Amino acid sequence: MESPEHARAAGRAVPDALVGRLLDRRYRIGPRIARGGMASVYEATDIRLDRTVAVKVMHPGLGDDDDFAQRFVREARAAARLNHPHVVGVYDQGDDDGVVFLAMEYVPGHTLRDVIRKESPMTPARALSLLEPVVSALAAAHRAGLIHRDVKPENVLIGDEAHGGRVKVADFGLAKAVSADTQHTATGGVLIGTVSYLAPELVVDGRADARADVYAAGVVLYELLTGNKPHEGESPIQVAYRHVHEDVPAPSEAAPGIPAYVDALVARATARDRSQRPADASVLLHQIHRVAQALRDGILDDPELTADLALAPTHPDTGDQGDESNDTAPEPFDPIAMANYRETSDATSDHVHTTAIEQLPASVASQAARPPAPRRPATPAPVDTVARKRSVKGPLSFLLVILLLAGVGVGAWWFGFARYTTTPGVLGVTEAAATSQLDRAGLGVEVGTPRFSETVEAGLVLGSDPEPGERVLKDGTVTLVVSLGPERYDVPALKGMTEDEAQDAIAAGNLAFGDSVEKFSDSVPAGSVMRSDPPAGTTVKPDTPVDLVVSKGRRPIEISDWTGKDADKAIAALEKRKLVVEVTGEEFSDTVAEGAVISQNPTTGPLFKGDEVQLVVSKGPELVEVPRVIAMGVEAATEKLEALGFQVAVENSDSYIGVGFVFSTSPDAGDMVAKGSTITLYLI
């Protein structure tokens, strides 16, 4: 049997030994649907519950390590405890004869990487709508004490339309199991995970907490907004170095028009100093909700929100936060802190009153502190009276309160209603017509990234941000999304590729691999693709399944041994099986009848179409004419017949008189008989 190494060296496809195997007497392994650095993922059938699952099988080099296997089991159990709508469910874990596997929820669809490739750069609202369920899942993990450590677009699955397009995060706990005893340094260790999303502390000393996941989520947000990773390099080490020594740039530098508070959100999440990042994904989720609300309200600039999200200033020399020399610097307004302050003041009203008393003039304060003297009867006496002055503090304070309330009301009216107008409905018209209509409404126009649509013709407006009927600032800007028409792709030419190469080409063409069947072919080498269904060049929708027909090589032909059988029938049967028959000769045979096969080469298969079969056909026994020996002496006649190859028998004729000469023969002289036949001499 040919080894996998020899097959790879010869360029032939190597069959996957796991496909078709029954793991743990429960999971029937089907086609491989993904490959990674640590594991491969297969579509499988849970034969006990009759459902489709995804089975992740660790690569042998990892599964052979007992310590790793134990950590993997512990982390799989921790991940299985996560019950969240945006987390891929973990069903089972096992070890079947050294094959360490994880059975998980099967999510048919695509990944966030596919969305980035198709839609980025995208609007901030769209980016946050994709990131929000991811951060929600991370928040649930962080509350459970679990860190993902490998947040990246490839680990974010998006279900197809049949599954509601739900966003789910995969691989919880796996990266932690792998990295438990691994040094993550940029110089002497190994970087586990995708380097483009590694937090600086993971690169420097390998220690990570929930803020490492926050950093990775911030990098993913930057990529959604710009279509590019924030740090690029010729090698992973260069990228890791930039994570440690360079800040993630503002997304607006690559995609102008992004609000400053969105830039601040990215900067906060990707701060190199992890003490300045949100403490965990729950805090980041709250910040995302605030930014998303501002975007829905059409606010292009919100200084207060930007200030809340902005990083604290650092000392130019020490890098410490804040400025210790200026203790009286004003702090940014914080509604939550103010609410807490009011509650504290109410709870300590005695302290407030005592302080107020201590701040009165000393004479008054002493009187207020001294107990009252006993009352004694007194004789009425005339008293000089002075008109009491009316205090102006009360009316002035009341006026200030009225003015303040009026200002708040006017501000609320202005900021909440007066400065807004309604976005006109411009869907289904051309870009020029939509621009003209928005200009008449006093609104600016931006053209966003066009998108494919199955229902809106190419060139017509597919959507707007804000949407028709929503509020937008007067003199604000409406972003138009123009339809590219139906999204279609041509099936690539796959003939002659290996199955793996064909699957990669299908994925690169935004299509889905369907199934493969094997068929014999006399012209296509074994392991190569013969054709596809739909055929190459067919224009289809994205993610359309493409089936492959893969060659099994030439069809083997089994043959029978026709020796001793009719040659004409043998030739007809062999030629019907597309073999070439050559009669190499005809020979006399005393044992094989005339017209039958004396010999055949080869006598057994398998053969292949066009191969040659050689036959030798019998001419029957060789015939010799019986000579005339009548009137010859018996000895002379016998010698002559034996010389021709005949056997001789001697008998007396009915007219025998003892002379000893041949009276007649049987067969008669002149007859053609087989060589070796017996000639009987009758004597007279």
Catalogue the E-assigned strands of 282-430. 420-422
Output the domain CATH number for residue 504. Answer: 3.30.10.20
Domain span holding position 76: 19-105
| pLDDT 10s digits, 191-242 | 445 789 999 998 887 778 899 999 999 999 999 999 999 999 888 889 999 9
Tokens linked to 251:
């997304």
Are residues 64 and 203 located together in one domain of the fold? no
| pLDDT 10s digits, 441-466 | 888 888 888 988 887 889 998 888 88
Residue 334 lies in a domain: no
Are residues 124 and 204 located together in one domain of the fold? yes
| Cα dihedral 517→519→524→526 (10° resolution) | 80
> Residue 381's pLDDT is what?
40
Are residues 137 and 195 located together in one domain of the fold? yes
Tokens linked to 348:
């300590």
Catalogue the E-assigned strands of 544-646. 545-551, 580-588, 597-601, 612-620, 623-625
Are residues 226 and 186 located together in one domain of the fold? yes
Are residues 447 and 506 located together in one domain of the fold? no
Are residues 24 and 52 located together in one domain of the fold? yes
Higher confidence at residue 386 or residue 425?
425
Are residues 148 and 274 located together in one domain of the fold? yes
| pLDDT 10s digits, 256-289 | 999 999 999 999 999 999 999 999 999 999 999 9
Higher confidence at residue 162 or residue 468?
468
Are residues 57 and 198 located together in one domain of the fold? no
Output the domain CATH number for residue 197. Answer: 1.10.510.10
Residue 403 lies in a domain: no
Q: What's the gap between Cα 521 and its chain centre?
A: 32
Model confidence at 52: pLDDT above 90: yes
R_g of the chain, CA atoms, integer Å: 48
> Residue 423's pLDDT is what?
82
Residue 171 lies in a domain: yes
> Residue 392's pLDDT is what?
56
Are residues 300 and 252 located together in one domain of the fold? yes
pTM, full prediction: 0.47
Residue 380 lies in a domain: no
Percentage of the chain beyond pLDDT 90 is 40
Average pLDDT, the chain: 80
> Residue 206's pLDDT is what?
76
Tell me what the mean pLDDT of segment 133-158 comes to.
91
Residue 598, SS3?
Answer: strand
- Please list, in sequence order, all residues whose beta carbon lies within 8 angstroms of the beta carbon of residue 671, skipping any fewer than 6 positions away: 625, 626
Any catalytic annotation for residue 205? no
Are residues 655 and 599 located together in one domain of the fold? no
Model confidence at 184: pLDDT above 80: no
Chosen domain end from 465, 482, 499? 482
Among residues 16, 150, 490, 668, the one annotated as catalytic is 150
Residue 369 lies in a domain: no
Tokens linked to 36:
């990674």
Nearest-CA neighbor of 335 among 371, 300, 307, 294? Answer: 307
| pLDDT 10s digits, 630-658 | 888 888 889 888 888 889 898 888 888 88
How do beta strands 444-447 and 477-482 pair? parallel
28 — phi, psi (to 5°)?
Answer: -85, 115
Q: How many domains does the chain have?
A: 6
Chosen domain end from 264, 279, 309? 309
Residue 9 lies in a domain: no
Alpha helical stretches, state H, 348-429: 349-358, 362-369, 393-413
Give, in degrees to the nearest 5, the angle at Cα 34 between 31 and 39: 105
Are residues 38 and 143 located together in one domain of the fold? no
Chosen domain end from 453, 482, 511? 482
Residue 533 lies in a domain: yes
Output the domain CATH number for residue 36. Answer: 3.30.200.20
Tokens linked to 22:
């029954």
Cα(298)–Cα(321) distance, rounded to whole angstroms? 33
| pLDDT 10s digits, 515-553 | 899 999 988 999 999 999 999 999 999 889 999 999 999
> Residue 346's pLDDT is what?
33
Residue 391 lies in a domain: no
Model confidence at 505: pLDDT above 70: yes
Are residues 431 and 574 located together in one domain of the fold? no
